[in-house]
Amino acid sequence: MSGAVLVALAAAIGNFLQGWDNATIAGSILYIKREFQLESEPTIEGLIVAMSLIGATVVTTCSGPISDWLGRRPMLIISSMLYFLSSLVMLWSPNVYILLFARLLDGFGIGLAVTLVPLYISETAPTEIRGLLNTLPQFTGSAGMFFSYCMVFAMSLTPAPSWRLMLGVLSIPSLVYFALTLFFLPESPRWLVSKGRMVEAKKVLQRLRGREDVTSEMALLVEGLGVGGDTAIEEYIIGPANEFSNAEDPSATKEQIKLYGTAEGLSWIAKPVTGQSSIGLVSRKGSMTNPSGLVDPLVKLFGSVHEKLTETGSMRGSTLFPHFGSMFSVGGNQLRNEDWDEESVAREGDDYDSEAAAADDSDDNLQSPLISRQATSVDRDVPAATQGSMRQGSLVQGEPAGNTGIGGGWQLAWKWSEADGVFKRIYLHEEGGPGSRRGSLISLPGGDPPTLTDGEIVQAAALVSQSALYNKELMHQHPVGPAMIHPSETAAKGPSWSDLFEPGVKHALIVGVGIQILQQFSGINGVLYYTPQILEQAGVGYLLSNLGLGSTSASFLISCVTTLLMLPCIAVAMRLMDISGRRTLLLTTIPVLVASLLILVVGSLIDFNSGVNAFISTLSVIVYFCCFVMGFGPIPNILCSEIFPTRVRGLCIAICALTFWICDIIVTYTLPVMLNSVGLGGVFGMYAVVCIVAWVFVFLKVPETKGMPLEVITEFFSVGAKAKQAEAVSSS
């Protein structure tokens, strides 16, 4: 997975530049005030700092829809150009007005990077390490702050520190970022699929995953294009066909369901069961497991997945069924690799010209089918209207068939629904290990993933909904099988504001917007911008007076040490993000934030001697920063990049980012005024109250998303939101 890691590192340099800018303006504002005589005008001082936030807010309002239109990569290229241009203008700035304009341009670049980098990484990262890679922006941002504070500290020791030079140095790393975005970063494969550019998407996935067979993930990306839909949680016992054919009760065969996968081979038989799956039990009895009604049932639904993973081993492999069968029969001619998604739309009635597919190897038209018809016989269980189509060649000729794993122990399969006359998509999740021929289930606490052989069955929970690969509306247009019309035909209309009112999307927006508001009003960005002044006001100069440093240089040095200590804390968070999980980290670190803030308040209210006060203030700020970057810093952006469907992800993240920047402006612009009015203790006391509220919100509303494919996460939100609506209706 080195390809995905390197791409995430390159993209995260955008946050390195943001961190660099945050620290540089925090240090240079002290000298800007002196040159422009702003000591008595805190409003202008706040505006200089907040102007970049205003720019970020303005660009965020349109960044999501534009990124859905142009792509993620072009927006990152534009961000790097804005960083470079703004740094040159700040280097020149002859007066406050030019400086304000430069800060506005800088804000445009920051807004694009902060909004789109987590989105880009989430869409390119493998499921198993998505949390780790999406913590990289926090790490690089803090690294940027550290190097910037080191630079500012060194310049503060000179006879005449130049704030213009401090701000202008940003042009050097921004050029590096520009080169990487232009020549190294690929486009997001999910965005490419949403635009019907399937050949490009496949090549990007092969580069990111380091393997040729990406069949299952390509199918997953297509399935994730829908918004909403009726999703049900079902429970199956799954095994080879001969396992169930030998059942003691011959009538039981009527209950059997044939499942089809993305790989070529034999299909498997599923038998519906009830009451065996922890996910199913929670979905049916969520109100019983939550008598108070305070904790969101969605939190319990997500939790049931991870509780089961804890019992059976969370990283047992990406496939339950390494040889899980395909919905396509064996035999007949194979499609060439380059024909996999070519246009192939020449069709007269039920006839299909398969050679038309090979005629144009470069066609990425939205009409291009994901699967091509072959003139071979197929499984007799499939309706005749679709029989001619149920074949798919291997992506690479001669390569063994791939598996159905889509990451995090989830599998992708399909079944034919006689009732609806359509294919149903199924996300499968193992809930039990191999059993005996009598169907008993044996739990496997860890170890290797099970391999289905004769006489073995597994128990699984399933999220079942209509497949994006097959449009029900095409039933009367002589369809030739699932995916014969490219799924992007349905999704190509792009995001719609009406999609935001779909229950699952609306529920996800409540979580995303809520956690962004609470993160900002915990005061972190305001504290970061004004750390030198806060430490100076706390008397930190007393601690370093023996070194011969002035109070300003001493505060810069403490800021260097603080940001340096943050880096190993973020490294620990990167390791834990996909093990302990996002929710656990938040619930663990937020109480430490509250404690550190309350200690800071006590230290400011009780007058010890100068050394004790300075020590308490400095230690509290360091602990606050280090715990913040482990949880409340990176996780809100990680969550917001995970919980929205592909088609509206850019739009929804823009809404969350807009909330982020508006709250950031309020906090940053009002902090100088609050410091003057209520003092350091009062400000941090307010932040402590907000952190307590944030902990309650996380406990009640924020689910655990570790180790789950993005498409599965959005399905869970849809199921949970609709179940909650049904429960509300039944109780009223």
What is the pLDDT at residue 258?
Answer: 81
- Mean pLDDT confidence for 105-118: 93
Confidence (pLDDT) at 121 = 95
Q: Is pLDDT of 376 > 70?
A: no
Please state whether beta strands 347-348 and 351-352 pair in parallel, antiparallel, or not at all (unpaired): antiparallel
pLDDT score for 82: 96
Task: Clarify whether residues 129 and 237 are in a common domain.
Answer: no
pLDDT confidence tier of residue 615, bands split at 50, 70 and 90 = confident
Do both 531 and 463 map to the same domain? no
Q: Is residue 442 included in any domain, yes or no?
A: no
What are the backbone dihedrals phi and psi of residue 120, each rounded to the nearest 5 degrees, phi first?
-65, -45
From 354-358, 465-469, 638-642, the region with the lowest mean pLDDT = 354-358
The per-residue pLDDT for range 274-306, each reduced to its tens digit, is 765 556 555 555 544 454 568 887 888 888 776
Determine the pLDDT at residue 10.
95
Report the distance separating Cα 102 and Cα 358, nearest Å: 53
Let me know: does 369 contact 485? Beta carbons within 8 Å.
yes
Per the model's pLDDT, the better-predicted residue between 450 and 680 turns out to be 680
Number of domains in the chain: 4
Averaged pLDDT of the chain: 74
Q: CB within 8 A of 112, min separation 6: which ones?
A: 14, 59, 63, 75, 76, 78, 79, 82
At 29, list the tokens: 């504002």
Contacts 24+ apart (CB under 8 A), 42-48: 42/672, 42/673, 42/676, 44/96, 45/672, 46/668, 46/669, 46/670, 46/671, 46/672, 46/673, 47/100, 47/669, 48/96, 48/99, 48/100, 48/103
Predicted confidence (pLDDT) at residue 491 exceeds the cutoff of 60: no
Both 100 and 233 in one domain: the answer is: no
Core vs surface per residue 117-135: b (16+ CB within 10 A) or e: bbbbbbbbbbbbbbbbbbb
Residue 368 pLDDT: 38
Give the alpha-carbon dihedral of 328, 333, 334, 338, to 10 degrees: -130
Task: Give the end of a domain, one of 161, 185, 209.
Answer: 185
Same domain, 578 and 705: yes
Would you list the DSSP string of 518-536?
HHHHTTHHHHHHTHHHHHH
Backbone angles phi and psi of 424, in degrees to 5? -105, 135
Residue 322 has pLDDT above 60, yes or no: no
pLDDT score at 691: 94
Q: Indicate the pLDDT class of residue 727, thresholds 50, 70 and 90.
A: low
Does the residue 403 lie in any domain? no
Predicted local confidence at residue 700, as pLDDT: 93
Half-sphere exposure of 236 (CA within 13 A, CB side): 30
At residue 483, the pLDDT reads 38
Examine the domain organization and report whether 673 and 656 are in the same domain.
Answer: yes
Q: Same domain for 505 and 607?
A: yes
Same domain? 96 vs 171:
yes
Q: What is the mean pLDDT of residues 317-322?
A: 40
Cβ–Cβ under 8 Å, residues 669 and 50: yes
Question: Is 441 contained in some domain?
Answer: no
- Which residue, 165, 185, 205, sits at the end of a domain? 185
pLDDT over 90, % of the chain: 29
Confidence of residue 533 (pLDDT cuts 50, 70, 90): low
Q: What is the CATH number of the domain that holds 45?
A: 1.20.1250.20
- CB neighbour list of residue 368: distance below 8 Å, 6 or more residues apart: 196, 198, 341, 342, 343, 344, 345, 486
657's tokens: 């980012």
Distance CA 433, CA 656 (A): 40
Q: 40, 29, 173: which is closest to 96 by C-alpha?
A: 29
Domain that holds residue 204: 195-224
Is 66 part of a structural domain of the chain? yes
Tell me what the mean pLDDT of segment 316-339 comes to. 36
CA 145/CA 558 separation, integer angstroms? 12
144 band by pLDDT with thresholds 50, 70 and 90? very high
Output the pLDDT for position 387.
38
> How many whole angstroms from its chain centre is CA 502?
20
Q: What is the mean pLDDT of residues 47-54?
A: 84
Report the pLDDT value the prediction gives residue 707, as an integer from 0 to 100: 87
Same domain for 104 and 25: yes
> Domain check: are 154 and 219 in the same one?
no
Do 633 and 656 share a domain, yes or no? yes
Higher pLDDT, 406 or 382: 406
Among the listed ranges 251-255, 673-677, 702-706, which one has the minimum average pLDDT value? 251-255
- Give the model confidence (pLDDT) of 422-442 as tens digits: 778 888 887 754 443 333 333
The whole-number average pLDDT for the span 53-61 is 89
Q: What is the DSSP letter of 428?
A: E
Binned at pLDDT 50, 70 and 90, residue 330 comes out as very low
In a domain, 635, yes or no: yes
Q: Which of 463, 479, 408 minimizes the C-alpha distance to 715? A: 463
Give the pLDDT of residue 88: 94
In the 3-class helix/strand/coil scheme, how is 219-281 assigned residue by residue? HHHHHCCCCCCCCEEEEEEEECHHHHHCCCCHHHHHHCEEEEECCCCCCEEEEECCCCCHHHH
Q: pLDDT at position 647, please?
A: 83
Tell me how far apart the terminal alpha carbons of the chain are, to the nearest angstrom. 50
CA distance 675 to 681: 9
| Residue 711 within any structural domain of the chain | yes
Q: How remote is the C-alpha of 584 from its chain's centroid?
A: 17
Q: Which residue has the higher pLDDT, 331 or 669?
A: 669
Q: Please, which pLDDT band fits residue 467 given cuts at 50, 70 and 90?
A: confident
pLDDT digits (tens, 9 = 90+) for 384-406: 333 333 333 322 223 333 455 77
* 3-state DSSP of 56-112: HHHHHHHHHHHHHHHCHHHHHHHHHHHHHHHHHHHHHCCCHHHHHHHHHHHHHHHHH
For the ranges 92-101, 121-130, 315-324, the lowest mean pLDDT is seen at: 315-324
% of residues, the chain, pLDDT over 70: 68
Instruction: Answer yes or no: do 676 and 534 share one domain.
Output: yes
Whether 437 maps to a domain, the answer reads no
Q: Which of 18-32, 174-188, 531-545, 618-632 has the lowest mean pLDDT?
A: 531-545
Q: Within this chain, do residues 618 and 634 fall inside the same structural domain, yes or no?
A: yes
Q: Residue 344: which H helix or E strand, with range?
A: none
In a domain, residue 302? The reply is no
pLDDT band at 112 (very low <50, low <70, confident <90, very high): very high
User: Which of 467, 487, 517 delimits the end of a domain?
Assistant: 467
Residue 201 predicted with pLDDT over 50? yes
Q: 18 pLDDT band (50/70/90 cuts)?
A: very high
Confidence check: pLDDT of 373 > 70:
no
Q: Which residue stretches of 538-634 are H helix?
A: 540-543, 551-576, 582-605, 610-628
